[in-house]
Amino acid sequence: MKRLRLLLDQMLDEGVARALGALGHDAIRVSDVGLASAADDAILRRAVDEGRLLVTLDEHFGDWAILPLSAHPGVIRIKASPTTTGNILALLLPFLEKAADRDFRNQLVIVRSAGARWIRTCS
């Protein structure tokens, strides 16, 4: 499995980062790099600048009127309910195991219990 460079949005806790790191992924949390209260566009810009996939629970990343996505390394939006660390990891870890070798560039991937939906956001 390919190891991924990930930027975890502010609602993802240290437990998620630790679990991803234990699998060899390079996962950093926005709160660890001074972006805990940053706007979504600033967080996305950081992911783009560092070539990291953004992992989020935030619905704004699927709403083009609020945050249009241009070229980016990829966005993974987790839809877990409730949004506990355990529920997030139960969706995210198996998804990454299957999809890590895929090309995430310019893709919004919505991951939920029913599966993953890949949406190309730009060419």
Block means of pLDDT (10 residues each) for the chain, 123 residues, are 91 96 96 90 90 90 58 92 96 94 91 94 77
| Number of domains the chain is built from | 1
* Helix locations, the chain, DSSP H: 14-22, 40-50, 85-99
- What pLDDT does residue 40 have? 84
Strand partners, 109: 76, 118
- What pLDDT does residue 6 have? 97
- What pLDDT does residue 65 have? 46
Write out the residue range of the structural domain in which residue 109 sits.
Answer: 5-120
Q: Do the beta carbons of residue 36 and residue 30 sit within 8 Å?
A: yes
- What pLDDT does residue 88 have? 97
- Percent of residues in the chain assigned helix, strand, coil, to nearest 5: 35, 25, 40
